[in-house]
Structure 1
């Protein structure tokens, strides 16, 4: 029995050392050429079940044709294409987004828990940055111009702001069909139910009335 347990431990150690963890961190590999999502299926799985019948239009989407509405408090609009609204992306481990910006428009600090992001500037001037995790919390920031690319590593908090005098447009590719997005202001101050003022007060060294003021501003 002891020899068997030693064998199991050794096998597990070998697996830990040889499995390509970077590969399995992304969406799982597809098991067939295509699996167009059946959005209306009652069966719930990790992703979407496949439609029984598919056709060429399943692999085309007009979602990103039109600019988003930038007349809002952030001055930006993110239009995302993932498996939920572009069924042909199901099981492909991909999603795409266009971001429109007014002058001074911002995409606030956020992260994508399931994807890395590559951003391409179509027109305009953007300042971008991301922050590494603890213990360093190092900020890497750059100014981007038309034709420039940048990358936001998986799970790291990042932001984008239009620092030009005109509107801007960027396109982003992400390596998950459902990357998720956690906006820090909303996560901290507009969750449902909200995080207690006692917790946030300690975290930010602010009195409860200041926390409530921030919550109202974020929700408004």
Structure 2
């Protein structure tokens, strides 16, 4: 009886393995293309014949971002839309430039954890844990410091110095996505009903109306 039970357990374990998916790409790369007539649909993108891949499929030049805006920051993404060779590789990055006191406002990446390294300047950074704690975790970072923002959590970066600052964020997705909280809530199209927002934020209707009339700059 005992041997039969062990055999059954082993069989179920093997069956489970047989049904599992391969966690890694089964090819060297899968360069995305926009030609719907020539390609294979993989992971949200069409892929070109790998024999036709070139160095430019894996290259992108990141320039200094223009921080002359209301936020004083500019995010330059380097994801699958910028480097087509990133398709299926599960990684991307972004360069973030800050003017003095510039802010990368509270936002989330729904599909990626972010690891940030400061190249120049001093940044005050933080994220908020999920309900019900909603605990704020913050740190002041200097050149060479690294900080992690867990996937999906609201986070921000503020230039705490009086000179320019630059940081690089690595992200665990080829297309991490970004939801800027203020833009999404008060700048949605069409607008969220003021009845919803006045009750959610416990403020007067005039405050909500004023916020919805603002121009919500997108620094991405």
Match of 2:64 among 54, 67, 70: 67
Say if 2:102 is the partner of 1:118: no
State the shift of 1:138 in Å: 0.5
Q: How does 1:61-210 map to 2 (within 5 A)?
A: 61-62=60-61, 64=62, 66-210=63-207
Q: Partners in 1 of 2:205 and 2:100 — Cα distance?
A: 34
Partner of 1:3: none
Give the TM-score of the pair, scaled to structure 1: 0.84
> What value does the CA root-mean-square deviation take over the aligned residues?
2.2
State the shift of 1:217 in Å: 2.2
Greater Rg over alpha carbons, structure? 2
* Structure 1 residues 36 and 45, CA gap change in structure 2 (3 angstroms): closer
State the shift of 1:45 in Å: 5.8
Q: Please state whether the residue corresponding to 2:213 is helix, strand or coil.
A: helix
Say if 2:35 is the partner of 1:36: no
Give the TM-score of the pair, scaled to structure 2: 0.84
| Deviant stretches of 4+, over 4 Å | 42-45
Contact kept? 1:189, 1:218, Cα under 8 Å: no
Partner of 2:4: none
Q: Partners in 1 of 2:153 and 2:116 — Cα distance?
A: 14
Q: Please state whether the residue corresponding to 1:69 is helix, strand or coil.
A: coil
* Structure 2: stretches of 5+ with no match in the other structure: 1-7
